C-alpha cells in the first residue's frame, strides 16, 4: 500500500506547509469504517462515565474518546497504514448495561471481520463490554479458547456493589466465565496497595488472580516481569488488554478519576504493551479513564493517544508489525 494524496484536504498540518517530502498525519489516513472492510485495526469510542458516577468517582470520562481522537489525528504517520474509525457507543439515560451490550455487539461484529478493535474510554466500565464482545465473537469456541486478560491498572476492579460500576467489571467477567465454563485468567499489573482494600486483595486471591504491585514494577525488575508476561502470553490463545490510565503517576496522567501518587513509569507500560502486541495474540484492547476536564494541557490525552497509536499500528518490539 502506498500513500495517496488526500482528495479533499491537504496532507499534514498548517505548520507542515512548504515542507519537502511526506507530511501525512493520522487524520490523512484514517477512514470511516465501511461495511466491506476486512482486516486491519479500528478505533471505537465508549462515551460513558456512568460507571464512574456509580462508583462515586469524578465524572467526565464520557468526553475521553473525543479528546483522544483530537490528539491522535495530529500524530505523524511514517509508514503506509490502513486504519479505520467505527464511531462511538454512548451511554445514554444512565443505561450502562444497555451501552455495554451495544459495545459488545459492535466489537463482535468487528472481530468477525478480522478487525482488531482499539476501544477508547470512557470509564473502566468499558472492560465488561470489551470482554463480552470477545465472548460473543468466540461463541461456541469460548470454553475451549484460552483467553488471557491483562489489565494495567492501580485497581483490581473486582468490587462487589449493588449495581455494576467502573469498579466491578473484572468481577463481572469472573462471574461470566464461571457461568459459561471457561477459565478466568486475569493478570493485573500495577496494583497499588493504597488503592485497594483488604477485601479486594482477598477476593483476588479467591479468584486466582495473578497481580504485581506498582512497587515491583521498577526498571531493575522489568526483565523479570516481562519474562513472566511472556510465559503467560505463550500459554494463551487470545489476549484482551485493558489499560487504565491511572496505572501511571499523576505527574504523567493527571486527567483521571483517581490519580496515583506513585504509579508505574510510562516506559515500562509501553514495554509491556509492546510485548503483548509482539505476541501476535492480541484480539482487542481498550484505554480507560481519561477525564479531559481534569487534564492539564492535554497531557493525559497525549499519553492515551500515544498508546492508541501503537495499538492501532500494531507495532511491537523494533517496530515489528502484527
Beta bridge partners of 117: 42
Q: Decide if 281 contacts 321 (C-beta within 8 A).
A: no
Which pLDDT value is given to residue 2?
52
Whole-model pTM: value is 0.94
Q: What DSSP state is assigned to residue 144? A: G
Going from the C-alpha of 250 to that of each of 154, 257, 258, 294, the distances in angstroms are 12, 11, 9, 11
What mean pLDDT is predicted for residues 283-308? Answer: 98
> What is the rounded CA–CA span in Å between residue 125 and residue 130?
9
The 10s digit of each residue's pLDDT in 151-193 is 999 999 999 999 999 999 999 999 999 999 999 999 999 999 9
Nearest CA to 155 out of 125, 132, 189 is that of 189
Split at pLDDT 50, 70, 90, the class of 10 is confident
Split at pLDDT 50, 70, 90, the class of 211 is very high
Output the DSSP codes for 162-177. Answer: SS--TT-HHHHHHHHH
Which pLDDT value is given to residue 82?
86
Beta pairing, strands 116-121 & 147-152: unpaired
**191: part of which helix (H) or strand (E)?**
strand 186-191
Beta bridge partners of 212: 189
In the numeric block, the cell 472492560 is attached to: 127
* Helix, strand, or coil (residue 2): coil
What mean pLDDT is predicted for residues 51-55? Answer: 97
**Average pLDDT of the chain?**
94
Q: What DSSP state is assigned to residue 292? A: G
Domain 14-319 part of CATH 3.40.800.10: yes
Cell output for 25: 498525519
The 10s digit of each residue's pLDDT in 224-250 is 999 999 999 999 999 999 999 999 999
Split at pLDDT 50, 70, 90, the class of 4 is low
Split at pLDDT 50, 70, 90, the class of 314 is confident
**E-strand stretches of 77-144:** 83-90, 116-121
Amino acid at each position: 500500500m502506498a500513500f495517496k494524496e488526500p482528495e479533499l484536504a491537504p496532507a499534514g498540518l498548517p505548520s507542515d506547509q512548504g515542507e519537502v517530502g511526506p507530511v501525512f498525519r493520522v487524520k490523512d489516513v484514517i477512514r470511516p469504517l465501511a461495511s466491506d472492510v476486512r482486516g486491519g485495526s479500528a478505533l471505537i469510542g465508549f462515551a460513558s462515565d456512568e460507571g464512574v458516577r456509580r462508583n462515586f468517582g469524578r465524572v467526565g470520562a464520557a468526553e475521553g474518546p473525543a479528546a483522544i481522537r483530537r490528539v491522535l489525528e495530529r500524530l505523524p504517520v511514517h509508514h503506509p497504514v490502513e486504519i479505520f474509525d467505527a464511531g462511538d457507543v454512548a451511554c445514554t439515560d444512565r443505561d450502562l448495561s444497555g451501552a455495554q451490550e451495544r459495545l459488545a455487539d459492535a466489537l463482535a461484529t468487528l472481530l468477525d471481520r478480522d478487525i482488531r478493535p482499539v476501544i477508547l474510554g470512557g470509564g473502566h466500565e468499558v472492560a465488561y463490554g470489551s470482554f463480552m464482545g470477545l465472548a460473543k465473537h468466540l461463541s461456541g469456541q469460548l470454553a475451549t479458547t484460552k483467553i488471557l486478560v491483562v489489565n494495567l491498572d492501580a485497581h483490581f476492579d473486582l468490587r462487589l456493589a449493588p449495581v455494576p460500576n467502573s469498579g466491578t467489571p473484572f468481577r463481572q467477567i469472573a462471574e461470566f466465565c464461571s457461568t459459561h465454563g471457561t477459565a478466568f485468567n486475569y493478570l493485573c499489573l500495577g496494583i497499588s496497595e493504597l488503592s485497594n482494600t483488604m477485601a479486594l486483595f482477598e477476593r483476588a486471591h479467591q479468584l486466582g488472580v495473578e497481580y504485581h504491585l506498582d512497587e515491583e514494577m521498577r526498571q531493575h525488575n522489568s526483565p523479570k516481569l516481562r519474562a513472566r508476561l511472556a510465559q503467560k502470553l505463550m500459554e494463551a490463545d487470545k489476549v484482551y488488554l485493558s489499560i487504565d490510565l491511572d496505572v501511571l503517576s499523576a505527574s504523567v496522567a493527571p486527567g483521571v478519576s483517581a490519580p496515583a501518587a506513585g504509579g508505574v513509569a510510562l516506559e515500562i507500560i509501553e514495554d509491556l504493551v509492546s510485548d503483548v502486541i509482539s505476541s501476535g495474540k492480541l484480539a482487542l484492547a481498550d484505554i480507560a479513564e481519561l477525564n479531559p476536564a481534569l487534564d492539564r494541557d492535554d497531557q493525559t490525552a497525549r499519553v492515551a493517544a500515544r498508546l492508541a497509536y501503537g495499538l492501532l499500528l500494531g507495532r511491537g518490539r523494533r517496530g515489528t508489525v502484527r
